[in-house]
Structures are given as C-alpha cells and as structure tokens.
Structure 1
Amino acid sequence: MPKLKTHSGAKKRFKLSKNGKVIRAHANKSHLLNGHGKTRKTKRALRGTTVADKTNVAQVKRLLPYQQ
C-alpha cells in the first residue's frame, strides 16, 4: 500500500497531544483587534490553545495519518 500524504492545511492548524487529543487555536483573532468590540480580556483568552470537539477528532486524525 502506498504512503499517505498529510493534509497541508491540517498540519498547519492542528497538533496531537501525547494522549492523542487534537489541539487547535482559537478563532476570531486575525483582525479587528482594537476598538471593535474585542476587549483586552477576550483577546487574552484567544491567545491560548484548546482541545478540538470530539465530533471533529476522527476527521482531523484522518488528515494527519502519521501523527498518531
């Protein structure tokens, strides 16, 4: 069987933890960051990472075949 290619977009956006959880960044942090309704507290919360929802985990792991 041939090797599988890793999805280029997925490898830039997701990472797997040691326990196999999918780690992702928060959305809404690309623009309109000052004076348009995003407070300091909101922007500070968006900095960190979070675990992807369980409904998306199988699809993401399929896009990252050799990361498991």
Structure 2
Amino acid sequence: MRWRSPLAGLAIIAGLVLYVVAVVTLAEFVPDHVLAETLYYVVTGIVWIWPAVSVIGWARKDDGSQQG
C-alpha cells in the first residue's frame, strides 16, 4: 500500500492551513494601498504552489513497490 499519498495529502492540508494563517497575519503589515494589497495577495496566492508540487512529487515516488 502506498503510504506516501495519504501522508502527502495531510501534509499539504496542514501546511496550507499554516500558510494561510501566516499570510493573513502578515497582511497587517502591507501598506493600505490597493496595488500593494493586490500584489501581496497575488504573490502569496501563487507561492504556496511550489512546496505543494514538491510534496506531490515526493508522494509519486515509487519506492520499488508494486506497480500496476
């Protein structure tokens, strides 16, 4: 049985929750300007994808187990 997939799913969910909390907390320090806020949320909305892709890539590794 592939144990990496459920573990990766839980890691992504937990990491995303922590990331959202950090993004919302740090948003208090963003200048109160529409362009600054938009840029902040666009960048932080995209940045989380890189670690998630890394975790998914790790979960897809075969480990030499059954293929089918």
Q: TM-score interval w.r.t. the shorter chain?
A: 0.3 to 0.5
Q: Of Structure 1 and Structure 2, which has the larger fraction of its residues in helix?
A: 2
Larger RCO, structure (CA 8 Å, separation 6 or more): 2
Normalising by structure 2, what TM-score?
Answer: 0.34
If you compute each CA radius of gyration, which structure gives the higher value, 1 or 2? 2
Normalising by structure 1, what TM-score?
Answer: 0.34
